[in-house]
Amino acid sequence: MFRCSKIRFFDLERELHQKELLPQFYLKTLLFFESVGLAMLKDTRWVIVDTETDGLYDPIRILEIAAQRMRGWKPEGEPFQVYLNHQISIPYDATAIHGLTKEFLDKEGIHPHKAHEAFKVYLNDLPIVAHNLNYDWNRCLLPEWQRLCVPVSGRPGFCTMLLARRLLPETRKVNLETLCRYFGIDAGRAHSASSDVQTVVSLFNQVFRVRLESAQITDFDDIVRFSKKSPIKKCHAMLGGGC
Arithmetic mean of pLDDT over the chain: 86
Topology (CATH level 3) of domain 45-155:
Nucleotidyltransferase; domain 5 (3.30.420)
Confidence of residue 191 (pLDDT cuts 50, 70, 90): confident
CB 132 within 8 A of CB 193: no
The helix (H) or strand (E) run that includes residue 49 is: strand 45-53
Q: Of 71-75, 102-106, 190-194, where does mean pLDDT reach its minimum?
A: 190-194
Distances (CA, A) of 156 to 26, 129, 133, 138: 28, 7, 8, 9
8 A C-beta contact, residue 91 and residue 111? no
- Residue 166 burial (C-beta neighbours within 10 Å; 0-12, 13-18, 19+): buried
Q: What pLDDT was estimated at residue 42?
A: 64
Tell me the per-residue pLDDT of 113-144, one tens digit each, with 9 for 90 and over.
Answer: 999 999 999 999 999 999 999 999 999 999 99
- In this predicted model, what pLDDT tens digit does every residue of 152-166 receive, in sequence order? 999 999 999 999 999
In angstroms, what CA-CA distances link 128 with 64, 133, 152, 202, 203? 16, 8, 12, 17, 16
- Write the CB contacts of 219 (distance below 8 Å, at least 6 apart in sequence): 40, 41, 44
pLDDT digits (tens, 9 = 90+) for 84-98: 999 999 999 999 999
Residues forming CATH 3.30.420.10 domain(s) in the chain:
45-155
